Amino acid sequence: MQEPRAHNRRELVRESLMFQLKLMADGFRDVLLLPVSLAATAIGLLRGGTEPDREFRRVIELGRRSEQWINLFGAHAPLEEAGHAGSIDRILDRAEQVLRDQVRQGGISESASQAIQRALDAVHHKAQDGRGGGPPDAAQ
């Protein structure tokens, strides 16, 4: 009965890591879009004409495309672009596959995986001790 719980914890760690990487990408995108959008606004105001918002609309479109590429909360279908990564999900999936392949080949990643599993078990047992006051139930 230990294996399903270990699997669930591994999935939680995986999903959390993926989310953290997407959050970083999203934050980086926001940091870049802030000055770019202000510059586009200033250019439009200075240039004037019939389409003063042309550059700003380009920035908005770039933001929309990057939002779909990052897909922070999984609300978008992965982009299907030939010859391109398509989305950050595909890049992260590929990186995960490379790591899994290394584990299967018996690389150093296997020992790291076992160390993470031991650490998760220790945290789980400590949490169980704190709640129940006694040793964790082996059947859990």
pLDDT in tens, the chain (140 residues): 455 566 688 788 888 888 898 899 899 999 999 999 999 999 999 988 888 999 999 999 999 888 888 888 877 666 665 445 567 777 777 777 777 777 677 665 556 666 666 666 666 666 666 554 444 444 44
Amino acid (one-letter) located at 134: G
Query: Using an 8 Å Cβ cutoff, are 55 and 43 in contact?
Result: yes
SS3 category, 55: helix
Amino acid (one-letter) located at 126: K
Nearest to 33 by CA among 72, 74, 4, 65: 65
CA dihedral sign, ordered 44, 48, 52, 58: negative
Q: Is the pTM of this model over 0.75?
A: no
Give dist(CA 135, CA 115) in Å, integer: 22
